[in-house]
A and B are shown apart, each in its own frame.
Chain A
């Protein structure tokens, strides 16, 4: 089946530094990837939608300069949290989508296992 890998699964950084999280579709090509943020005991909040080769579309209230998203290839999207602060500590999840009728990842959203960011 379709597999999406997120790396790192956990990261701790100092306030003011930048952190990059990778989201890879391992066995299919994802035309669209989504990034979510999940607070403890709360739902997943969509942050942005990224299509390969184009700029990401951010949801209202999400700072695009804080959360840089790059989708340079059909199998990789990255989320960079710039100048991270403690309030950016959260669980970040990506999902990937491939159009079509067959093969892994086709016509369904496949989620990564998430990346827990802790900013000290």
Chain B
């Protein structure tokens, strides 16, 4: 069965510093991988997705992620964090025959210090 592990429950980053959020997945075939951000009172917003092709994926808000098959990882990065990036971040893998049915990781809460 598919699974997603986000080993960091909380991460605190200074504003302007770089960010990397870790995600490891378990899936037998080529995975569909996603990163979502959840802010209080708002729905999950898709940051980026990987289906195939270039393993470095660019997303919205300056985020990027790199798919590494050998490490079963899909880490999210941002070179310079803004205070508005403070939120909960979820990594997800598409399960089943398509990518609509998602299995989510437990999330990483990002705190941004001034």
Query: Across the interface, do A34 and B105 meet the contact criterion of CB distance under 8 Å?
Result: no
Binds B, one of A12-20, A41-49, A63-71, A75-83: A41-49
Q: Does A43 lie within 8 Å of B46, measured CB to CB?
A: no
Residues A44 and B90 in contact in the complex (CB < 8 Å), given A93-B43, A111-B43, A111-B44 = yes
**Do B43 and A113 touch (CB < 8 A)?**
yes
Assembled-state Cα–Cα distance A9/B41 (Å):
8
**Alpha-carbon gap, A36 to B68, bound state (A):** 28
Cβ A43 vs Cβ B106 within 8 A: yes
Question: Is B101's CB under 8 angstroms from A113's CB?
Answer: no
Q: Does A32 lie within 8 Å of B106, measured CB to CB?
A: no
A88-111: CB near B (< 8 Å → 1, else 0) gives 000001010100000000001111
Is there an interface contact between A114 and B43, defined as CB atoms closer than 8 Å?
Answer: yes
Contact of B31 with A by CB under 8 A: no
Q: In the complex, what residues of B have CB within 8 A of residue A56's CB?
A: none
Which partner residue on chain A sits nearest B109 by CB separation?
Answer: A41
Tell me whether B101 and A34 are in contact (CB under 8 A). yes
Kindly state the interface size class of chain A when it binds its partner.
20 to 34
Q: Which residue of A lies closest to B36 (CB)?
A: A111
Tell me the residues in window 57-114 of chain B with beta carbons closer than 8 Å to chain A beta carbons.
90, 100-107
Q: How far is the CB of B101 from chain A (nearest CB, A)?
A: 7
Is the pair B101, A93 in contact by a Cβ cutoff of 8 Å?
no
B104 contact from A43, A110, A112, Cβ within 8 A: A43
A84 close to B (CB within 8 Å): no
Contact in complex: A43, B43 (CB < 8 Å): no
Contact of B46 among A4, A49, A109 (CB under 8 A): A109
B42 contacts chain A at the CB level, 8 A cutoff: yes
For A42, A43, A49, A110, the residue with the greatest tally of chain B CB atoms inside 10 Å of its CB is A43
Give A residues with C-beta under 8 Å from B: 4, 6, 9, 32, 34, 41-46, 49, 93, 95, 97, 108-114
- Mark B residues whose CB is within 8 Å of A: 9, 36, 41-46, 90, 100-107
